[in-house]
Amino acid sequence: MDLTETPDLAYDVFSKACPSRGTLEHVTGRWGALTLGALAALPEAEGSLRFNELRRRVDGVSEKMLSQTLHALERDGLVHRDAQPTNPPRVDYELTPLGREVAGRLLALIHLVEGRMDEVLEARERYDTARGGR
Amino acid sequence: MDLTETPDLAYDVFSKACPSRGTLEHVTGRWGALTLGALAALPEAEGSLRFNELRRRVDGVSEKMLSQTLHALERDGLVHRDAQPTNPPRVDYELTPLGREVAGRLLALIHLVEGRMDEVLEARERYDTARGGR
């Protein structure tokens, strides 16, 4: 990949007024990234998850934060919310086609970070040692 | 890309105790993502930036937040800090080889989001209209 590639786009996350910065934050925020990642890691045949299933997969998220995260992703058109009028109501979440594309790039980043953590932890040790240990 | 791919890794961002979650947050956090993106978008020949140049590119970041962000990325081995003992001291920041790989995946995600913002904004309009406008 050519890292110097700078496409001529109408939207620019580096500009603080651009709406793309907000969407990038929904996608890469602590819970947004893990929520999209959890939905993207599902086998194709079972592409949706109920709220509580999602909450178990995104270890550590509160009910309130997961709810806010899902609303922001739904509003941006990345997640589809399907509510069945049963009693109790059954609500499923799944990625939209755009959400799958975004989550695919995100998973590629997540897998790279997970795969290189040995290097990251060695770097941290060198950094802390050079500064007298912490 | 096969989104169902689940590599057997020692590290797992979905587990809240895993150190990879912290690194993912440094990489995808509001300022971490833009800082890595700004360094990655440089032409190969001028691969480093001074603190104030970085601050201008990452529109909206405060001096304190940029400094914290750079320290976290340096500690994780993603950014290299080069201090010249001149007066005033000259400090340059550039990506390490691992930082370039991570930033490459991040830029791929950023470019996708920027390129699909028309769809995102249409989705927001539909969402807000369905809920009586906001």
Q: Does residue A2 register a pLDDT over 80?
A: no
Inspect the interface and report whether the beta carbons of B25 and A30 lie closer than 8 Å: yes
Gap between the Cα atoms of B49 and B91, Å rounded: 8
CB A5 within 8 A of CB B113: no
Residue B42, pLDDT score: 82
Residues in a beta bridge with B87: none
| Residue A75 at interface with chain B, using a CB cutoff of 8 Å | yes
Tokens of B93: 């920041």
Query: Are B20 and A114 inside 8 Å of each other by CB?
Result: yes
CB atoms within 10 A of CB B44: 9
pLDDT, tens digit, 9 for 90 and up, residues B2-54: 445 555 558 999 998 999 999 999 999 989 999 999 999 887 767 799 999 99
Residues B134, B131: Cα–Cα separation, whole Å: 8
ipTM of the assembly? 0.87
Q: What is the pLDDT of residues B89-100, one digit of tens each?
A: 889 999 999 999
Q: Which residue of B has its CA nearest to A46?
A: B4
CATH pick for A19-130 out of 3.40.720.10, 3.40.640.10, 3.10.110.10, 1.10.10.10? 1.10.10.10
With 0-12 CB in 10 A as exposed, 13-18 as middle and 19+ as buried, what is A25?
middle
Of A6, A43, A58, the CB nearest to B41: A6
Distance separating alpha carbons of residues B97 and A126, to the nearest angstrom: 16
